[in-house]
Structure 1
Amino acid sequence: MTQNELKKVEAFKANSPVASVLMIREMALRRTRDGKPYLDLVLGDLTGRINAKVWDQGKELAEILKTGLPVGVRGQCEEYLGTLQLIVSSIKPLNSQELEEMGISWEHFFPATKRDRELMWKSVLNAISVMEDLWLKELTMAICKDYEQKIKNHPASLKLHHAYVGGFLEHVYTMVALAETAADVYPVNRDLLISGIILHDIGKLEELNGFPDNFYTDEGNLIGHTVQGYSLIRDYIRKTEGFPDMTALKLKHIILAHQGEYEYQAPKKPAFDEALLVHYIDELDARMNMMKQIREEDLSLGYAFLYVPNVEFILFVAFLSGLLLGWIRGVFVAFLGELVFSVANPMGSGLAYPPMLVAQMLGFILVASAGFWLRPVIRGFRHEKKILISLFGAAGLLLTFIYDSLTSLAFPLASGFTGSQIWAAYLSGLPFYGIHILSNTLIFAILGPVLIQFVTKKYPHYLAS
């Protein structure tokens, strides 16, 4: 199987043969009606996922396969109930060497930095090479050389920022660029600042496994990257005879203080200029990367229409959360999403009036729950576009009416209005609610069926029973 003949999930077509290298995302050993064991899999690459069935040797294969394992797959792609499904004729686990021989890296399965890693690496090494402090220069270069492959390929975090292949290097590279400018503006020790920037997160190379199983190691869970990084640098310094005590102390302090605050698991707060700069440059680059991810993933869609009266998408997203993620996860996502949306709203934080915020939270819990309750109905009609339009439109109309009723009654009820005053306040807002209800009915009716057809085709497991 060569790279040229391999297909990606996005290129799979019904009634066509498939040869591909995919990763096992989900796996379950099941039995047919006559009791024969088979493997029910969800396989995927960076472009998508597909449900797969292995009818033969299911029990034997279940003992050697596991979630997160890359596999070479051959089979036939078929359409089943309007969804693509892969009938696997052969499946083989692949190790790192076999992937390398095929010219396949982890970017085939996971998102990766869009920057050139070799250019970033050379830039970081160049920043070290011009250091005047030979102790810091040799120490920083030694650590970078020893951890070169991890630095180039590791993520910078589990989920929050730069959480992709090469994310660690991109984070360091950007921070070094910012630090170079800061060193020109402020009277600081450039070499100490650059060394602290490059090494501040070095403990994350031991805190996280990296891809393909990017999760916390046991030591990462129990100790954490700050202390792990401190210990690593301490050990390197101990092996360097004559390393200046004060330089060692300051560098170790930068590692311990780079999180900035005790509540962020920093053992110490920054005590001098270089440590403070490392903290804020780290925070700045992390926040900017998080904002970039939000923008690219269109999670800011709710704010995109902030200045268009009565048009918003976040209620629709809450409904989808319950529909696709199940009740518990769906309610959690909807609750958290509305909480962030309301509190961070540039038009005014929801914290300014708690009764309204509580009403909004209750409304979103109800909307997400409705998505979960309607899941069997929508799943049953997922191939009937006209019925889906009616279902989503009706859901949008009714749920927006209930949500607007809850939020419009929150103020008069919390303010102690009488019955007639509450009724008058509610009726006065009807023109506003009417436009909101109409816009949401259209949003649900237009986008709902389109997204369901997309999910049915690309991610069928989200609508599985």
Structure 2
Amino acid sequence: MDLLSIRDLKRVAGPVSQSVVFRAQLEKCLQKTTKTGNPFYELTFSDSEESLVLRVWNNSPMFDLCGQLRNGHFVEVSGEFGLGNDGRSIDGKTWKARVLNELETAEVLAGSESLRAKQEEDYSFIETSVAVILDPRLARLCGGFLEHYGERFKRTGAARDYHHARRGGLVEHVAQMMRSAVRICEAYPMLNRDLLVAGVLFHDIGKLWENVYEEKGFTMPYTEISELMGHIPLGMEIVNRLWRELLDEDDLRKEWGDLEPASERVRLHLLHLIASHHGELAFGSPVVPKTPEAQALHYIDNLDAKMEMYDRGYEVAPELGKNVYERVRPLPGRLIAPLQVFEQGNNASSEE
């Protein structure tokens, strides 16, 4: 049996069970009770890209096995899997699990080769984009952040659900937003490129405390500080702290004293981008976008999140009919397969 990722398992699962092997972390193993009082287990497995929930009923031969599994274990699961009766969930007909050794665990944590390569490329693009910032204050601020928090950044998700909800997902999200921001600045010269790139880097930086994964796992713990503050106030606080630390250096304070625009205005405009990036008060921003860069950041953020939802949806959503897929929340309706790009000569009349 070929080793599959959880995303691959979801993609290939059908009404007829098939032999499958996957490796993942057992994030949660909960014993629950049905409405009729029968016990069952609910297991959540997670790998570098997806999570999978399996329910094991008390009449299943795997029921006793579940009682031996422990939260946090990295395991290899092999058995017969297919779609459940609802046509959406994954059902394990028969399966077994073994705990992975240290080397196997490290491989699972690292993710697939393609994901590792993508995230490395994305992080390199972020570093390159920051390196060409001309404003010395924003350049030092962004560079200092990457130096101090880069490793934590690399294991943070962009969200708990919906988009880029995986270890390193925030790096992917920020890099793609930066690509869009650079191109949009070319189309709209009125935009301050340095400010917008810095805003992209810092807009979700509070998620390094809200959506960070454990150093050796796919569990995203809940913390008191993130629950009490939220990622927008946390991000503003981090930027303010980094800014103050830079100004504590006498040479920099003197060097920046006569720069235009004034350093205090630069700081305020950057904070405004973080504060307003959700776009509306109803969506959690304490203020609406009031500058061109803030408005651009809001749309760039929203666009990248939505495109990720579509991209993932086409891979894991059940196909309801030709070119029609199950709705992926929070998108507003069922997904329709995108129109293929036209290629010259790719038509029926040209075929021999």
Runs of 4+ in 1 over 3 A off after TM superposition: 6-10, 18-22, 27-30, 39-56, 71-74, 76-79, 98-104, 111-115, 298-305, 339-342
How many residues align? The count is 281
Tell me what 1:167 maps to: 169
Tell me what 2:202 maps to: 199
Identity of aligned residues (%): 26
Tell me what 2:73 maps to: 70
Tell me what 1:105 maps to: 109
Which of residues 203, 216, 226 in structure 1 aligns to 2:232? 226
Which of residues 253, 262, 282 in structure 1 aligns to 2:272? 253
Q: CA–CA distance in 2 between the matches of 1:106 and 1:27?
A: 26
| Richer in strand (by share) | 2
Alpha-carbon contact 1:257-1:266 (below 8 Å) kept: yes
Q: Report the AA paired with residue 127 of structure 2.
A: L
Matched, 1:237 2:243: yes
Distance 1:248 1:102, change over 3 A: closer
Higher RCO, 1 vs 2 (CA within 8 Å, ≥6 residues apart): 2
Greater Rg over alpha carbons, structure:
1
Tell me what 1:23 maps to: 26
User: What does the per-residue CA deviation read over 1:92-137, in whole Å, with 9 as the maximum and x for residues that have no partner?
Assistant: 8x8xxx46874331637xx995762111111111111111111100
For the residue of structure 1 that corresponds to 2:134, the secondary structure is coil
User: What does the per-residue CA deviation read over 1:372-393, in whole Å, with 9 as the maximum and x for residues that have no partner?
Assistant: xxxxxxxxxxxxxxxxxxxxxx
Q: CA–CA distance in 2 between the matches of 1:191 and 1:183?
A: 10
Alpha-carbon contact 2:276-2:289 (below 8 Å) kept: yes
For the residue of structure 1 that corresponds to 2:107, the secondary structure is coil
| Richer in helix (by share) | 1
Tell me what 1:126 maps to: 128
User: What does the per-residue CA deviation read over 1:403-452, in whole Å, with 9 as the maximum and x for residues that have no partner?
Assistant: xxxxxxxxxxxxxxxxxxxxxxxxxxxxxxxxxxxxxxxxxxxxxxxxxx
Q: Report the AA paired with residue 259 of structure 1.
A: H
Alpha-carbon contact 2:156-2:208 (below 8 Å) kept: yes
Which of residues 261, 267, 270 in structure 1 aligns to 2:289? 270
TM-align CA RMSD:
4.4
Structure 2 unaligned segments of length 5 or more: list them. 10-18, 34-39, 57-61, 82-91, 248-252, 257-262, 337-352
Q: CA–CA distance in 1 between the matches of 2:197 and 2:5?
A: 41
Alpha-carbon contact 2:160-2:211 (below 8 Å) kept: yes
User: What does the per-residue CA deviation read over 1:21-48, in whole Å, with 9 as the maximum and x for residues that have no partner?
Assistant: 6525424499xxxxxxxx9684756597
Tell me what 1:287 maps to: 306
Q: Report the AA paired with residue 268 of structure 2.
A: L
Alpha-carbon contact 2:133-2:194 (below 8 Å) kept: yes
Q: Report the AA paired with residue 304 of structure 1.
A: N
Tell me what 1:150 maps to: 152
Q: CA–CA distance in 2 between the matches of 1:120 and 1:19?
A: 27
Alpha-carbon contact 2:202-2:274 (below 8 Å) kept: yes
Shift in Å, 1:203: 0.7
Q: CA–CA distance in 2 between the matches of 1:55 and 1:287?
A: 40
Alignment map for 1:293-442 (pairs within 5 Å): 293-298=312-317, 301=320, 304=323, 340-341=332-333
Alpha-carbon contact 2:158-2:207 (below 8 Å) kept: yes
Distance 1:70 1:258, change over 3 A: same
Distance 1:21 1:299, change over 3 A: closer
Alpha-carbon contact 2:177-2:304 (below 8 Å) kept: yes
User: What does the per-residue CA deviation read over 1:255-289, in whole Å, with 9 as the maximum and x for residues that have no partner?
Assistant: 11111111111111112111111111111111211
For the residue of structure 1 that corresponds to 2:171, the secondary structure is helix
Q: CA–CA distance in 2 between the matches of 1:78 and 1:271?
A: 55
Alpha-carbon contact 2:73-2:99 (below 8 Å) kept: no
Give TM-score, length-normalised by structure 1: 0.50
Distance 1:45 1:248, change over 3 A: closer
Tell me what 2:220 maps to: 214
Q: CA–CA distance in 2 between the matches of 1:215 and 1:167?
A: 16
Q: CA–CA distance in 2 between the matches of 1:267 and 1:78?
A: 50
Q: CA–CA distance in 2 between the matches of 1:78 and 1:279?
A: 45
Shift in Å, 1:252: 0.8
